[in-house]
Amino acid sequence: MIGSFPQYEVFADEFLDHAREGFYNAFVDRPACLSLLGDVAGRDVLDAACGPGLYAAELTARGARVTGFDLSPRMVALSRERVPAATFRVHDLGAPLGWLPSASVDLVLLALVYEYVDDRVAMLRELRRVLRPGGVLVLSRMHPTGDWLRHPGDYFTPRVVEETWNEGWHVRFWLSSLQDTCAELREAGFLIEQLVEPRPVPEGAAVDPLRYERLSHQPTGFLAIRAIPDPRRG
């Protein structure tokens, strides 16, 4: 189990400095998810696990009305400072979104947090509840193949692992297979519209040629999925 301890709290400020222009976030994950979200102007967007507000800033600039939340109080404080036009609160994805009415948002963004949640089906059901009919969920997670290459062994049985990243950040998260993520979405009442294995955008080539080359050819970055509430399931 991961539980509800805010792992990112101790390095929230460092995460902001890193992810603002960091290769994986700025040149791989954010371009992929923003592209899957499409035109957000005038839409109500729920930024689930908003971190320091990097997505919220961009979505607000593109004309969205953004509500964000995160388990880490420091992340929420950073988001509030950086994106005064949006509203933020501390909330654990492991708990129901009691403060949000059903069918109240057009888009849900769930970027790079999937692997930190113990009951992923319950989380997805709750996100489906708050989506309006015709709404869209965009989620990204670490690529299961990259995870498996770093943690060889049984690919198919979900398990919690620990890593210390280059920045010295210590994290615990779930390894789970691609088929489990697809099954969890289906069980929660979503249909996958598009699944991409994002490769770096061309501007990344000059920033970090080695990473650009590797992530352009190897499935060791992220997955990004655009899913819609299954209209057959009420």
Ligand X SMILES: C[S@@+](CC[C@H](N)C(=O)[O-])C[C@H]1O[C@@H](n2cnc3c(N)ncnc32)[C@H](O)[C@@H]1O
| Residue of minimal Cβ distance to ligand X | 51
Backbone angles phi, psi at 112, to 5 degrees: 55, 40
State the Rg of the chain over Cα: 17
Q: Which of 64, 93, 97, 107 binds ligand X (CB under 6 A)?
A: 93
Note whether 205 and 212 are within 8 A (CB): yes
Q: Of 34-42, 89-97, 201-209, 221-229, which segment contacts ligand X by CB under 6 A?
A: 89-97
Contacting residue, 22, 31, 51, 198, with ligand X by CB under 6 A:
51
CA distances from 147 to 103, 207, 220 (A): 34, 24, 7
Residue of 67, 72, 79, 176 that binds ligand X (CB under 6 A): 72
Q: How far is the CB of 4 from ligand X (least distance, A)?
A: 6
Distance CA 188, CA 126 (A): 9
Write down the least CB distance from residue 231 to ligand X, Å. 28
Residue 138 touches ligand X, criterion: CB under 6 A = no
Q: CA neighbours within 13 Å on the CB side: how many for 108?
A: 33
Q: Check binding of 219 to ligand X (CB under 6 A).
A: no
Asked whether position 22 contacts ligand X by CB under 6 A, the answer is: no
Are 105 and 129 spatial neighbours (Cβ–Cβ below 8 Å)? no
Cβ(52)–Cβ(79) below 8 Å: yes
Beta bridge partners of 192: 227
Minimum CB distance to ligand X, residue 214 (Å)? 20
Asked whether position 67 contacts ligand X by CB under 6 A, the answer is no
Question: Closest CB to ligand X among 133 and 162?
Answer: 162
Q: Which is nearer to ligand X, 49 or 107 (CB)?
A: 49
Choosing from 37, 49, 108, 224, the residue that interacts with ligand X (CB under 6 A) is 49
Tell whether residue 71 is a contact of ligand X (CB under 6 A).
Answer: yes
Instruction: Give the footprint of ligand X on residues 96-115 (CB under 6 A).
Output: 111-113
Q: Which residues of 103-120 are buried (b: 16+ CB within 10 A; e: fewer)?
A: eebbbbbbbbbbbbbeeb
Applying CB under 6 A, the site for ligand X has a residue count of 21
Q: Where in 112-131 is the site for ligand X (CB under 6 A)?
A: 112-113, 116-117
| Rounded least distance, CB 142 to ligand X, Å | 9
Binds ligand X (CB under 6 A): choice among 11, 23, 24, 55:
55
Q: Given candidates 11, 18, 19, 27, which one binds ligand X under the rule CB under 6 A? A: 19
